[in-house]
Amino acid sequence: MEELLARVTARTGLDAATAQTAVGHILAFLQKEGPATEVGQLLAALPGSETLITDANAGDGGGGGLMGMLGGMMGGGGVMALGQKLMSAGVPMGQMQPLGQELFAYGREKVGEDAMGPIIGSIPGLNQFV
């Protein structure tokens, strides 16, 4: 996990705590929305991922603001809700795509395209961030 967080901070310029929270939110989102088998493979290949997910879920008080309102109007979840959580965690809009790209590139290195492809393909709108 340290290697992934170091790559995310180097790529995005986020501080370590923000990167850790953001990765936790993304992994929690994938666990909730993605195909269980492939997400399970990804999480197993990322030691410490369960702790980040637990921390992200513990701090998850729901989103407000404009993105929360838009997410509510569009069905209340999905990638819009994830974007709100990331912004609330301190990730600027312009850093969401590099964050996603780095996380998914790392995932491909660890579990391959056979696992990452179905994850990306199963979640509407996710492909714009990877």
Predicted local distance difference test score (pLDDT) of residue 63: 47
DSSP label of 124: T
Environment class of 46 (CB within 10 Å of its CB; exposed 0-12, middle 13-18, buried 19+): buried
Model's pTM, two decimal places? 0.87
In 59-112, alpha helices (H): 65-73, 78-88, 93-111
Predicted local distance difference test score (pLDDT) of residue 118: 96
Residue 123, amino acid: I
Predicted local distance difference test score (pLDDT) of residue 60: 66
Q: For residue 71, what are the CA distances in angstroms to 25, 50, 85?
A: 16, 26, 11
**Residues in the chain with pLDDT < 70?**
60-76
Predicted local distance difference test score (pLDDT) of residue 32: 94
